Amino acid sequence: MTVLITCPPMLKSIGEFRPIFEDRNIELICPEVVQTLTEEELITLVPQVDGWIIGDDPATARVFAAGKKGKLKAAVKWGVGVDNVDFKAARALDIPISNTPARFGEEVSDVALGYLLSLSRHLHQIDRKVRNGIWHKPPGISLTGRKAAVIGFGNIGQATAKKLTAFGLQVSVYDPFANANEEEKRHFVFDSLDNVVSNAQFLIITCALTPDNRHLINDHVLALLNQGSYVVSVSRGPILDEAALVRALERRQVAGAGLDVFENEPLTLDNPLHKFDNVIFGSHNGSNTIDAVRRASLKAIEILFTYLKN
């Protein structure tokens, strides 16, 4: 039996997991992956394997159809986000498939708070200046009493909202599908998108990407923020209209942004966001801690073995 792994964090730690597969006489295929493989590469590889642990690759209907014509029996999407995987196509082909939900809320929310703290106190800019011999002392803003808008109240959004309150921020949440308990309703304000964003000092995007929320955060929404606000995105890049963010940065409606994700990844050198020194770039790395990678990988392996009956 053969398993393909295309998830970069899991691949980087594959030495830890390889014995689990060897004990079951399973051969691993571990290609070099920076972010994703192409659809054509996957169409070549996937039919050769019995199981597939998917990263952020384009797991399309074409890929699953090719896999079904070959050996593919089951797949698992490593992690929470599933926008890159055509689950409907896989299931129509009778290919068992799942993701590993609720694995990274704490880790990704930590990164969101890291961006927020750095932006509010210009820590990234101070570091750059001091490294160049400039004793830079820009004034920041205090967090206590200011409004933070959290977009999405899933595992990541819930963890983010709780941590924001620890810093004294007033937290408003937009999530039309939120199933908040009574305690959460006491601590956070749940409202429409416009009301949640209006006059917020911080906008933090934590929701999953769906066909309905591409460019949910657009010119209209960004204009509702406080003048000189900050935007943090740690979920999926296409939820934020990057062209609209560029316009908001140019007119200083938005004073800075922390972006772990982008509309197109990896970020290219010709992206107009590069011209702003008040934007912090990430590498879609919010979930990548030793602990979280181990936790999600072991769960992915467990699910896959169940499907493969191994």
Q: What's the CATH number where 77 sits?
A: 3.40.50.720
- The CA-based diameter of the chain, rounded to the nearest angstrom, is 63
Which helix (H) or strand (E) segment holds residue 184: the answer is: helix 182-187
158/64 same-domain check: no
What's the pTM value of the predicted model, to 2 decimals?
0.91
Q: What tens digit of pLDDT does each residue of 222-272 get? A: 999 999 999 999 999 999 999 999 999 999 999 999 999 999 999 999 999
Domain check: are 111 and 98 in the same one? no
Instruction: Evaluate whether 197 touches 221 at the Cβ level (below 8 Å).
Output: yes
Catalytic residue among 107, 124, 236, 242: 236
C-alpha to C-alpha distance for 262 and 241, rounded to whole angstroms: 9
For the chain, give me the number of helices (H) and strands (E)?
Answer: 13, 12
pLDDT, position 310? 63
Note the pLDDT of residue 34. 83
The active-site residue out of 103, 124, 146, 284 is 284
8 A C-beta contact, residue 175 and residue 190: yes
Domain count of the fold of the chain:
2
Residues whose CB falls within 8 Å of the CB of residue 116, separated by 6 or more in sequence, listed in order? 143, 148, 164, 202, 204, 230, 232, 258
Those residues of the chain that have pLDDT short of 70 are 310
pLDDT, one tens digit per residue, over 132-153 is: 999 999 999 999 999 999 999 9
* 295 catalytic residue (yes or no): no
**Alpha-carbon distance 280 to 291, whole Å?**
25
53 in the same domain as 144: no
- Quote the CA–CA distance of 60 and 184 in Å, as a whole number: 37
Residues 60 and 22 in one domain: yes
The answer to whether residues 109 and 234 belong to one domain is yes
What residues have CB less than 8 Å from 34, skipping those under 6 apart? 8, 266
Do 113 and 13 belong together in one domain? no
The answer to whether the beta carbons of residues 102 and 80 sit under 8 Å apart is yes
Cα–Cα dist 77/81, whole Å = 8
Annotated active-site residue 214? The verdict is no
Residues 200 and 232 in one domain: yes
Of the candidates 113, 82, 301, the one whose C-alpha atom is nearest the C-alpha of residue 208 is: 82
234 shares its domain with 151 = yes
Sequence-distant (6+) residues with CB within 8 A of 86 are: 59, 60, 61, 64
Q: Are residues 18 and 150 in the same domain?
A: no
Could you confirm whether 284 is annotated as catalytic? Answer: yes
Q: Are 96 and 109 part of one and the same domain? A: no
Specify the DSSP class assigned to residue 30: -
Residues 154 and 269 in one domain: yes
Asked if 119 and 226 sit in the same domain, the reply is yes
**pLDDT value of residue 104:** 93
Catalytic residue among 187, 265, 294, 295: 265
For 160, counting Cβ atoms within 10 Å of its Cβ (0-12 exposed, 13-18 middle, 19+ buried), the class is: buried
The 3-state DSSP class for residue 190 equals strand
CB proximity list for 117: less than 8 A, separation 6 or greater: 123
Provide the residue range defining the domain that includes 140.
105-281
Give the model's pLDDT for residue 35.
Answer: 86
